[in-house]
A = this chain, B = another copy of it.
Amino acid sequence: MNRPDASLGACEAARAIREGALTSEELIEACLARVRAAEPRVQAWSFMDEAHALAQARAADEYKRSGRSIGPLHGVPVGVKDIIDTADMPTENGSVLHAGRTPRADASVVSMLRAAGAVILGKTVTTEFATYSPGKTRNPHDPEHTPGGSSSGSAAAVAAGMVPLALGSQTNGSVIRPASFCGVYGFKPTHGLIPRSGVLPLSRTLDQVGVFARTLEDVALLAEQLVGYDEKDPDTKPRARIPFCAIAAEEPPVEPLIAFVKTPQWQRADAETKEAFAELVDALGERVQEVELFPSATEAWDWHKTIMEAEMAFNLDAEWRRGRDGLSKSLRAQIERGREVRAVDYQQALARIPLLQDGFEELLVMHYDAILTPCAPGTAPKGLDSTGDPSFCTLWTLCGLPSLSLPLMRGSNGLPLGAQLVGRRNFDGRLLRTARWLVGRVGAGV
């Protein structure tokens, strides 16, 4: 393979490296060249040490030359959101309060990536503490527009072709929304599948690690490396490795049936989005049915807010006590609201989650293979003061359901518009399979 291209997918790159057609060093060189070209405009990275990235690549090549067996991501670069600890790079959590912070240990997911052979290319920009106050990143499709957040840099770096894979996280809409705005695949697996130790804790109930890639195959390849039990994350369970790549590649045994769910947020969607979804539903024909949610789902947004703010107030207590002048006004207000939440209301909100999950379990076991719904009210809004509206992601995050952002459409402004596909809890592989069927049926539009 001559002239490796930074836009090479992860599956292709891993295969080429495995077969000796490409070295990791060549691939990383190509990615770094692309970073040099695009970064001034996109600003996706909070930390990048070219020499260190190349040293990892050369070590990977050396290792392979020694003849030892290599992992599924051997030599392949991954960008890591800067709320995920890395022992060899700073992790600043998007806050001046953590400037210069260098963790002593890798997060579990980073250890898993290294065990799979990956090269950690650098750290990608996050909003302030993975909440709403934006970082420096711009939308690669139009730098006057937000890339979305909080996993802004991960989505933008993958979209800009700087790296084939990146890790992000979602507590409300922080994977699905930026993936939609940047026109890449975003995947937030079932809560509890991917361990979070070493990832900035905001909300034990809501925090979930997610991934970005430019193809569904690459999503499956990356996610497959990250599932596991971690005794330091009490929400993970001992379980067998899930063969995401194999399941995603299967043909569905029967044509999937999709539930189109507008959610109580539908009035927030702009006219163009409503029209795009009408067309998408039309294209799917008899394989999609519009479904109205059970009434209790309408309260999910309040419960999510209670839980997120109460848990953030707990997790950011030291920052609030010692450094509240270094917090954005909006985050300070969130924490202050969170500090006032009563334990009874917090417990009541938590207790609703299994009831909602039961409702979706019935919908997704008895009737439908997946739920189709918007990722956001529209394409990436203009301006860099906000990362956009997460409300189309809230319900699925609260329930810990696996969800995907599929880059299927474009707005009249030329910016990408994703479609969100939500699956049954712990059936993430099937969601990827259904997504591949859907993309094949309607065609990727971006």
Contacts and interface: CB of A to CB of B under 8 A. Distances in A.
Contact of A338 (B310, B339, B344, B348): B344
Contacts of A345: 343
Contacts of A344: 310, 313-314, 317, 338-339, 341
A282 interface: no
Interface string A311-350: 1011001000000000000000000001111111111100
Interface string A295-321: 000000000000000110110010000
Contacts of A346: 343, 346
A341 B339 contact: no
A246 B137 CA distance: 63
Q: Determine the main DSSP class of A at the interface with B.
A: helix
A341 B314 CA distance: 14
**Of residues A343, A348, A351, which shows the largest number of chain B Cβ atoms within 10 Å of its Cβ?**
A343
A343 to B, nearest CB: 4
A236 to B, nearest CB: 12
A221 B313 CA distance: 46
Nearest to A351: B314
B339 A340 contact: no
Contacts of A340: 342
A311 B310 CA distance: 16
A7 to B, nearest CB: 44
Contacts of A342: 339-343
A209 to B, nearest CB: 21
A206 to B, nearest CB: 14
Contact of A348 (B238, B314, B341): B314
Contacts of A341: 342-344
Nearest to A309: B343
A314 to B, nearest CB: 4
Interface of A: 237-238, 310-311, 313-314, 317, 338-348, 351
Counting from the closest, the 5 A-B pairs by CB-CB distance are A310-B343, A343-B346, A314-B347, A341-B343, A343-B343
24 contacts: A237-B237, A310-B343, A310-B344, A310-B347, A311-B343, A313-B343, A313-B344, A314-B343, A314-B344, A314-B347, A314-B351, A317-B348, A338-B343, A338-B344, A339-B342, A339-B344, A340-B342, A341-B342, A341-B343, A342-B342, A342-B343, A343-B343, A343-B346, A346-B346
